[in-house]
Amino acid sequence: MRFFIFLILISGYVFSQSNEVTFTKDISPIIYNKCTSCHRLGESGPMSFTSYEEVASLGSMIEYVTQNDYMPPWPPDPGYTSHSMLDERFLTENEKNLIGEWVSQGLPEGDPELESEMPIFTEGSAIGEPDFVFQLEEEYFIEGNNQDDYRVFVFPTGFTEDTYIKAIEFRPDNREAVHHALMMVDVTGTGAQQDAESPDVLGYEAFGGFNLEGVSPNDYVFLGGYAPGMNPVVWNGELGMKIPAGADLLCQIHYAPSSVNEWDRSSINIFTKPASEVEREVQMKMWLRLDIEIPANTETQIEACLNFSGSFADLYGPGEIYQFGQPTGFYGEQNCEVPEDWSLLGILPHSHLMGKSWEVYAETPVGETLPIIKIPNWDFDWQGFYYPEYMQHIPAGSRIEAIATYDNTNDFNMGWGELTTDEMFFCPIYYVPYQEGDENIYLGIEQTTSILENTNPLFDIFPNPAQDQIEISYAHKDQNNLNVKLYDSKGRIIDIILNENFQSEANSVKLDISSLSPGTYFVNIQSEAGLLTKSFIKE
């Protein structure tokens, strides 16, 4: 009997140990990879999460904000689409449950040897050496009045010819003050004129957009954006985005409320590519409804297709055309069919303070629904650009629908406008004409092989050049979830070579390349330690 009781006690102890949730083993990978990019010294998060002590001291608060999906901020519904977005920050149900269990078990630290490595946070460019740097000409003063400050800054490019970019990167100077930023091209000079009206103050005030007087937002060309934890998108291979000759760069920066005075001198990095390398120019089309009406004390849903009937129909929606008092035709939604196969690259849903939700999807000619993005709880403070990890194919003839919901609890009607007291139904979408294999082109910065080339002697490809077979070797201990991929020079995935653990400190894998066409190829090794990239030539 005593032996039986002893076995029960031992079994209970082992079971208890195996179910213990510790910071080092279970929680540090979650916090460091989903929270620390913002929550560290000098960043926008109000407290640091860079150690057990810092995280455990706020364990109950972390449990509350994660269980209620308040943090980390990720407005899109991750379950809406079959594809992932770049830089996703949401927590899975399992991750939220682990945090809850950890707090309920008393916040145990665990074995320090099992603590996850802190990600490498770049201090300079996350891409490489830029071709052009545009920086605020002087520090901008941010008054500590506990109010939001939305400011547009104008950067003349001085480009004498059309310039194609492969990446645009916003670099915040004062990360504690900068909440987010949006960047666009202005070919009208209107932004510079408005900036010149207040020569004693840097930039000009703008809340919902860029407030370009007399310029239709339908003519805006957005280049990209920034939010904490968001990496710049790189247009790889044959893709590029055009900045016209003589254009200005406009950058709207949202400075978060603060009780203390701050200063900022942020900058923009531009990475260019020769026009001869750009076979497909990144295009933009947008939803923009100037006819929106949101009655007082109501919740209003506005739905519109991406319209190809012309700019007037884009701005004012469907309706009849009258001549001499008689209807002579229609404009608007009679032409909502995508004219050619598209590869979708990114999207920016945008409302103001009454916005409640967004949903964008495509209906194909055969009746298939292709979800693009859904934001069930719109939050103006956490808006952003969203890019699928891989291009999304939209067949020709599809209808792309956008649905936005607004909650107007005021006693007055609301219409379209760029001011705080106005609303917007505005959503740019980025695309290129589809080519076979686009679904395999990755849009993240891990593919910036033309900019960054790994020189780690522990990662090698032999022989190089090669004809029939290569051997990929990688020496690094204690690796988990190792992923090895092969790409062509246009960024298309050729093969997922490995998606498992190497079993020792020195490892290699052989790959048959006899069927590959001659050219340059890239091998990426992604692990918890980071990303390594190396090229080889197939003869």
* Mean pLDDT value across residues 509-524: 82
Residue-wise pLDDT tens digits, 144-183: 998 889 899 999 999 999 999 999 999 999 888 888 898 9
Residue 291 Ramachandran class (φ > 0 left, ψ -120 to 50 alpha, else beta): alpha
| Per-residue pLDDT at 518 | 83
Three-class DSSP labels, 461-528: EECCCECCEEEEEEECCCCCCEEEEEEECCCEEEEEEEEECCCCCEEEEEEECCCCCCEEEEEEEEEC
Specify which residues 255 forms β-bridges with.
Answer: 149, 178
| Per-residue pLDDT at 445 | 65
The third-level CATH classification (topology) of the domain covering 284-440 is: Jelly Rolls (2.60.120)
Cα angle 398-431-227, degrees, rounded to a multiple of 5: 120
Residue-wise pLDDT tens digits, 374-389: 999 998 878 788 999 8
Residue-wise pLDDT tens digits, 207-232: 767 878 777 666 778 898 887 767 78
pLDDT tops 50 at residue 11: no
| Per-residue pLDDT at 31 | 93
Higher-pLDDT residue of 475, 284: 284
Residue-wise pLDDT tens digits, 269-280: 999 999 999 999
- Rounded CA separation 254/178 (Å): 6
| Per-residue pLDDT at 213 | 78
What are 268's two structure tokens?
Answer: 């923009």
Specify which residues 150 forms β-bridges with.
Answer: 254
- Rounded CA separation 248/158 (Å): 8
pLDDT tops 60 at residue 512: yes
| Per-residue pLDDT at 317 | 53
pLDDT tops 60 at residue 206: yes
Confidence of residue 324 (pLDDT cuts 50, 70, 90): very low
Comparing 14-18, 92-96, 295-299, 482-486, which segment has the lowest mean pLDDT? Answer: 14-18
Q: Does domain 132-278 have CATH number 2.60.120.310?
A: yes
Residue 226 in contact with residue 170, Cβ under 8 Å?
yes
| Per-residue pLDDT at 280 | 93
DSSP assignment, residue 136? -
Residue 179 in contact with residue 238, Cβ under 8 Å?
no
Residue-wise pLDDT tens digits, 281-318: 999 888 877 788 899 999 999 998 998 876 544 545 55
Comparing 164-168, 216-220, 404-408, 428-432, which segment has the lowest mean pLDDT? Answer: 216-220
Confidence of residue 411 (pLDDT cuts 50, 70, 90): confident
Q: How far is CA 50 from CA 38, 41, 54, 110, 229, in A?
A: 11, 9, 7, 16, 15
Percent of the chain at pLDDT exceeding 90:
39
- pTM recorded for the entire structure: 0.71
Specify the CATH number of the domain 453-538.
2.60.40.1930
Taking the CA of residue 358 as centre, how many other CA atoms within 13 Å lie in the half-sphere pointing to its CB? Answer: 26
| Per-residue pLDDT at 41 | 80
Residue 490 CB contacts under 8 Å (≥ 6 apart), including other chains: 236, 237, 238, 441
pLDDT tops 80 at residue 319: no
For CATH 2.60.120.310, the residue range(s) in the chain are: 132-278
Radius of gyration for the chain, computed over Cα atoms and rounded to the nearest angstrom: 26
For CATH 2.60.120.230, the residue range(s) in the chain are: 284-440
Of these ranges, 141-150, 318-327, 441-450, the one predicted with the greatest mean pLDDT is 141-150
Q: How far is CA 311 from CA 44, 285, 288, 293, in A?
A: 39, 11, 9, 19
| Per-residue pLDDT at 489 | 61
Residue 328 in contact with residue 365, Cβ under 8 Å?
no
| Per-residue pLDDT at 97 | 94
For CATH 2.60.40.1930, the residue range(s) in the chain are: 453-538
Residue-wise pLDDT tens digits, 54-66: 999 999 999 999 9
Cα angle 217-382-377, degrees, rounded to a multiple of 5: 95
| Per-residue pLDDT at 217 | 64
CB pairs under 8 A, 24+ apart, for 83-86? Answer: 83/388, 83/389, 83/390, 83/392, 84/388, 84/389, 85/386, 85/387, 85/388, 85/389, 86/231, 86/233, 86/386, 86/387, 86/388, 86/389, 86/443, 86/444
| Per-residue pLDDT at 420 | 62
- Rounded CA separation 260/262 (Å): 6
- Give the chain's mean pLDDT: 82
Higher-pLDDT residue of 447, 245: 245
| Per-residue pLDDT at 473 | 78
- Rounded CA separation 408/298 (Å): 5
Residue 127 in contact with residue 169, Cβ under 8 Å?
yes
pLDDT tops 80 at residue 474: no
